[in-house]
Amino acid sequence: MNKTLFPQHGANMGQPVPRYEGRAKVTGEARYPSDVRLPRTAYAYLHISRIGRGTVQAFDLAAASAVPGVIDILTHETIGDQIKQTPAIYQGGYASDSFRPLGSAEIAYWGQPVAVVIAETYEAAREAAHRIGVTYGPHSPPAADMDSPDAVAQALVPMAIDVGDFDAAYAAAPIKIDARYSTPAQHQNPMELFATQCMWEGGRLVVHEPSQYVNSVKFGLAEQLGIDPERIRVISTYVGGAFGAKGFLTQRTALVAIAARRIGRPVKLVATREQGFTVSGYRAETRQHVQLAAEQDGRLIALKHEGWELTSRADTVAMGAVSMTTRLYACANIVGRVNAVSADRSTPGFMRAPGEMPYGFALETALDELSSKLDMDPVELRRVNDTRTEPVGGLPYTSRSLMRCFDEAAAAFGWQDRTRQPGSMRDGDWLVGWGCASAFYPTQAGNSAARVRLTADGRVHVSSAGHELGQGMYTMMAQVAAEELGVPIERVTVSLGDSDLPPAVVSGGSAATASVAPAVMAACDAIRRRLGVGNSPPAGVRAAMEASGMGVIEEFAETRAHGLPPESVRDMYRGKALPTGGVSLPDRVQFALGAQFVEVRVHALTHEIRVSRAVGAFAAGRIINPRTAHGQLIGGMIWGISSALHEHTEVDGRNASYINVNLADYLLPVNADIVDIQAIMVPEEDKLVNRAGVKGVGEIGVVGVAAAVSNAVFHATGRRLRDLPIRIEHVM
């Protein structure tokens, strides 16, 4: 990390404090959930379906049972109804899909768990799982994707947006763009696999599982097992990457929990990389249609954005980000439409900037097409359509620094040297192209609680069931408490990721810091009140503590996010604290915004496509720690390059299976693909969004990059590419 960028100094909010758990992570001391060693552990291995639709007619378990060390085999026949149905989050429940684990003989998607082997060793469990014989009933080919004849499209009427008269305005407009785009299925592929360890202790179940929401797992699992939630504890001290894939309860957890109960021993499951493709949700493929109409000066007259997203038969899941793409620019005539297309696939879910990435790709590419048709600089096109008020509901932005981001990123990038004509910036055999796009992410928060303890020796302990996903949650919570109580950060310790701690929001939607920091602040307020120092400078806390003669003060606080009703606090205590904000508020809209600029080089002879430079500038309210925020932002930008040029989960049309289910065939950028990347944090103060003034940076970095790349490829080659990922064959 660049020393001049982050000089060492104080620990207060806004300072680049080194990672709280950094030493533990680099020394291997940090225990991820699968690292926890439990006595007499048995090992579980999943056997997953090899058809995409049908039924299990019979199992032949003889060969599997004969493998030395096999203890138990779970199938829908052997477990009966030990696991109860629990609704998916899309129906207000806890689960990431509505398939009951080993619920019946029915196969609804390729990769569905159909059996689980429990054995003395991982190797024995794996061997036995491979020896399970499954006879499938007669089955017809599944619908693998949107083109399958029996995929079923359904318009999601509540997501429709209609403002003004799009048809009339579009028909009469002088300049128009009408284009179709597509984005592929993608999988989060966190480095840490989907692991679960379960142990029953005196009627209480302890679950070690990487999670973005330990309380949701606790309450959902209690429903599935039919036991009191207070008999379940879920621990997730560290998470080795989540990106939405570890957000909610998946089928594996209940399977491991009942296996541990059946054999009276701890059971450990680490699903394989391949199985991980269907253990949790994924970014579903989309198709999109964008129509834009503008005046000669670039002002938008009409905008229509319609999306189709793949989903499973059982769950209607759609990210539907037309709710955002229709609110970014001034325009009087707007239509937004969202459609879900059901096929025989596992239920999709959330993946970093779930809707913003694909929908932002389409809108921001269409805007570039418009700028090109107008022969107008694409930055200027955004400027003439900049607005302080979103055009759908007429609500004000709490703050909006989009054009400051464009100006700072453009200056850092050297945009003024761009020549407009496609193909005009050649460098030897390389066709050079420069492109840009807006980045956006809704500012959200959810109800959260925290406990803060101050001891007479000036030490502080912060605890909350928020989660460390790698984003720096431990560090940020320590900074907040250090600042609020005026103690050196070395004196602050933090506990997170345990359902026995004060409940917090799901660590998703870029809302974790914006939600938990206010709770920590409120607990610190309570401590200051106890000491009679009110909201005076925190330097007085230490002296007041000494004078008070108290050995310890401990305070608990819960905070309710703007836009949530009082009764929503109850939901927090039931594992249902979800973030809100963005475009869901009655009085305002809240967005973090940014500008992405990239340089691509396309080789004139081999057509190889490289991203040689990327500059992003982001305004996201208060940055509690620029070091961890910088990591989030460049990580997002790299993922954007990955989305633009590499990632694509390939679906086999014959059985609706995923083909490239490993990190060799699922293409990702390596260091050689990421040359020069710069993230600029544009100062922004927004006192409305939440008490901490935080908008969140977990997801915005990925948004807009793919459009900037495709726009740069157009600038380099004159080829307009509307389907991701962009590969050599598309520029030949």
Give me the active site residues, please. Answer: 699
CA distance 272 to 283: 19
Cis preceding-peptide flag for 566 (omega within 30 of 0): no
Whole-number minimum distance, CB 687 to ligand MOS, in Å? Answer: 24
HSE, side-chain direction, 13 A CA sphere, residue 297: 4
Phi and psi angles of residue 403, each rounded to the nearest 5 degrees, phi first: -75, -25
Q: Kindly report the number of other CB atoms within 10 A of residue 58's CB atom.
A: 12
CA distance 222 to 231: 8
Residue 509 vs 704, nearer CB to ligand MOS: 509
Using CB under 6 A, list all residues that contact ligand MOS: 212, 243-244, 247, 350-352, 354, 508-509
Bridge partners, 291 (sequence order):
178, 304
Residue 211 vs 464, nearer CB to ligand MOS: 211
Specify whether the CB–CB gap between 273 and 662 falls below 8 A: yes
Specify whether the CB–CB gap between 430 and 446 falls below 8 A: no
| Residue with smallest beta-carbon separation from ligand MOS | 244
Whole-number minimum distance, CB 99 to ligand MOS, in Å? Answer: 21
Whole-number minimum distance, CB 247 to ligand MOS, in Å? Answer: 5
Q: Kindly report the number of other CB atoms within 10 A of residue 672's CB atom.
A: 7
Whole-number minimum distance, CB 207 to ligand MOS, in Å? Answer: 20
> Which among 434, 446, 384 is positioned nearest to 580, based on CA atoms?
446
Specify whether the CB–CB gap between 508 and 467 falls below 8 A: no
Question: Which H or E run includes 601?
Answer: strand 591-603
Residue 278 vs 333, nearer CB to ligand MOS: 278
CA distance 633 to 640: 10
Whole-number minimum distance, CB 243 to ligand MOS, in Å? Answer: 6
> Which among 660, 657, 664 is positioned nearest to 112, based on CA atoms?
657
Q: Which stretches does DSSP call E strand in 469-581?
A: 492-495, 552-559, 580-581
CA distance 300 to 625: 38
CA distance 231 to 202: 10
Specify whether the CB–CB gap between 142 and 327 falls below 8 A: no
Whole-number minimum distance, CB 320 to ligand MOS, in Å? Answer: 14
The distance from CA 494 to its chain's CA centroid, rounded to whole angstroms, is 24
Residue 351 vs 541, nearer CB to ligand MOS: 351
- Give me the amino acid identity at 251: Q
Whole-number minimum distance, CB 352 to ligand MOS, in Å? Answer: 5
CA distance 383 to 520: 39
Whole-number minimum distance, CB 683 to ligand MOS, in Å? Answer: 25
Whole-number minimum distance, CB 317 to ligand MOS, in Å? Answer: 13
Residue 509 vs 635, nearer CB to ligand MOS: 509
Whole-number minimum distance, CB 571 to ligand MOS, in Å? Answer: 18
Residue 213 vs 666, nearer CB to ligand MOS: 213
CA distance 154 to 125: 42
CA distance 2 to 661: 36
HSE, side-chain direction, 13 A CA sphere, residue 255: 34
Residue 353 vs 531, nearer CB to ligand MOS: 353
| Structure-token pair, residue 263 | 């054999």
Specify whether the CB–CB gap between 378 and 384 falls below 8 A: no
Burial of residue 627, with CB atoms counted within 10 A of its CB: 0-12 exposed, 13-18 middle, 19 or more buried: middle
CA distance 244 to 457: 40
Specify whether the CB–CB gap between 336 and 160 falls below 8 A: yes
Residue 243 vs 413, nearer CB to ligand MOS: 243
Contacts of 254 (CB under 8 A, 6+ apart): 83, 101, 221, 224, 225
> Which among 224, 277, 276 is positioned nearest to 249, based on CA atoms?
224
Whole-number minimum distance, CB 504 to ligand MOS, in Å? Answer: 14
Residue 287: strand, helix, or coil? strand
Residue 244 vs 631, nearer CB to ligand MOS: 244
Whole-number minimum distance, CB 188 to ligand MOS, in Å? Answer: 8
CA 212 vs CA 191, 209, 361, 490, 690: distances in Å: 15, 10, 26, 26, 21
Phi and psi angles of residue 217, each rounded to the nearest 5 degrees, phi first: -65, -45
Residue 351 vs 617, nearer CB to ligand MOS: 351
